[in-house]
Amino acid sequence: MENHSAENGHSIFDAISQLFGKSLRPDVEAAEKISSLAEMENSFHAALQQLNGKIEDLRQQKLQAGSNTVSSPAAHAEERERRMNEAHARILNDILAMHRKLATGIDPPTLDALATFLEECVEKVAKERSVPEVMPCCRSSILRRFHHEAGEGAWDEMERQLAAQSEAWPETAQRDPIEEEAAFERRRQLKYREMKNDFVNYELARSAQLIRGIERAWQADYPDPGTPLWRELVLEGVATALRARILEGYYDRLLANKEKIVTRVTELVGRELGALQAVLAEKNLISLEDAHRVAMSSGRVLDEVIPEIAWQVIGEEKSG
């Protein structure tokens, strides 16, 4: 701001007076007033300049502070990892607390052992699905089938424990103010059934993380502790530990009945091999459809039929 006090012998206060149709009288009293007002104007201008200077200084300090706190990609990743680890530790603590509350019998060492078991199953599936041999592929398919079968039983067991402790499932569905109670209840039940179905169909790799409350889809932005979504994840973690315990029991029975399963599988693979060789022996094989049909049948044997045989065998052993 420029100081126009001396310009044309008038100050801004003269201009204000003239604006309202008044002028200062050229007497001593008026001269004193003009001098006083001019002093005030100069002081005001000086103070305003000083304030603007401070504002600029503060702005520069803020910019400098901002430039100092802008994290590098590595620092950003480190901060994100720190927040994730904090969330994982807190939700794991809540999962263990819920195990105690529901009296599942799963304490920290047991949970660690079950988590390790799931991780080993994931490694087996990943390794055995990458090799062309028949039997390793069969073991991989059997593990995945047993994991699937354990899902519903684990969920049902968790529901029984919740009912026994009068613990309600967290309410995550939002009700529209104009929605009728019956319609909202149907939607809520549908959402719950879908969640259970999704849980049963989870892959082994997901279970290996979920048992500790790790939900990669949320990255570092977990919901607030104690919220319905947080409690929902806690209960899924509890159900996953129950699932791992059931799966471990299935696996033990699989090993105990290995010879019986191998015998039945060998007979089945032998029959499928005969069909494959018959197709390959055809000198004038021109039906691509037939070739695809036999190939699909053989693939189904590995992915579905053999796991079903294993499931039937351990079922017989259990009922016996």
pLDDT digits (tens, 9 = 90+) for 92-136: 999 999 999 999 999 999 999 999 999 999 988 887 655 555 566
Q: Is residue 294 assigned to a domain?
A: yes
State the pLDDT confidence band at 6, using cuts at 50, 70 and 90: very low
CA angle 107, 108, 109 (to 5 degrees): 95
- Looking at residue 19, what is its pLDDT? 43
Q: 7 pLDDT exceeds 70?
A: no
Give the Cα separation of 134 and 137 in Å (integer). Answer: 5
The number of distinct structural domains making up the chain is: 3
191 in the same domain as 168: yes
Element holding 172 (H helix, E strand): none
Give the Cα separation of 133 and 318 in Å (integer). Answer: 30
292 in the same domain as 183: no
Of 187, 211, 242, which marks where a domain is finished? Answer: 242
Q: 63 pLDDT exceeds 90?
A: no
208 in the same domain as 299: no
108 in the same domain as 20: no
56 in the same domain as 100: no
Give the Cα separation of 24 and 76 in Å (integer). Answer: 66
284's tokens: 């004038």
Highest mean predicted confidence (pLDDT) among 174-183, 200-209, 220-229, 249-258: 200-209
308 in the same domain as 160: no
Q: Is residue 51 assigned to a domain?
A: yes
224 conformational bin, left if phi > 0, alpha if psi -120 to 50, beta if neither: beta
Q: Is residue 133 assigned to a domain?
A: yes
Q: Mean per-residue pLDDT for 202-230?
A: 90
219 in the same domain as 164: yes
- Looking at residue 84, what is its pLDDT? 86
Q: State CA 158 to chain mean position distance.
A: 21
Could you tell me which residues come within 8 angstroms of residue 269 by beta carbon, excluding any fewer than 6 positions away? 134, 301, 306
Instruction: Read off the amino acid at residue 259.
Output: E
307 in the same domain as 189: no
234 in the same domain as 262: no
Of 188, 207, 242, which marks where a domain is finished? Answer: 242
Segments forming the whole domain that contains residue 53: 7-63
Helix 306-319 and helix 258-281: axis angle, to 10°?
Answer: 160
pTM of the model: 0.69
Q: 280 pLDDT exceeds 70?
A: no
Higher pLDDT, 171 or 282: 171
225's tokens: 């502790």
Could you tell me which residues come within 8 angstroms of residue 275 by beta carbon, excluding any fewer than 6 positions away? 294, 297, 298
**Per-residue DSSP letter, 254:** H
Q: Is residue 69 assigned to a domain?
A: no
CB-CB contact of 250 with 318 (8 Å): no
- Looking at residue 290, what is its pLDDT? 57
Of 37, 63, 89, which marks where a domain is finished? Answer: 63
139 CB-side CA count, 13 A = 20
Q: 60 pLDDT exceeds 80?
A: no
Q: Is residue 175 assigned to a domain?
A: yes
CA angle 94, 100, 104 (to 5 degrees): 115
State the pLDDT confidence band at 33, using cuts at 50, 70 and 90: low
210 in the same domain as 118: yes
Q: 48 pLDDT exceeds 80?
A: no
Question: How much helix, strand and coil, in percent to the nearest 5, is found in the chain?
Answer: 80, 0, 20
Q: How far from 16 is each of 10, 21, 28, CA to CA, in Å? A: 10, 9, 20
Q: Is residue 68 assigned to a domain?
A: no
Quote the mean pLDDT of the chain.
79
108 in the same domain as 195: yes
Could you tell me which residues come within 8 angstroms of residue 306 by beta carbon, excluding any fewer than 6 positions away? 138, 141, 142, 265, 268, 269
Q: Is residue 1 assigned to a domain?
A: no
Q: Mean per-residue pLDDT for 201-223?
A: 90
State the pLDDT confidence band at 221, using cuts at 50, 70 and 90: confident
- Looking at residue 129, what is its pLDDT? 59
Q: Is residue 71 assigned to a domain?
A: no
Highest mean predicted confidence (pLDDT) among 10-14, 104-108, 172-176, 297-301: 104-108
Highest mean predicted confidence (pLDDT) among 9-23, 69-83, 179-193: 179-193
12 in the same domain as 153: no
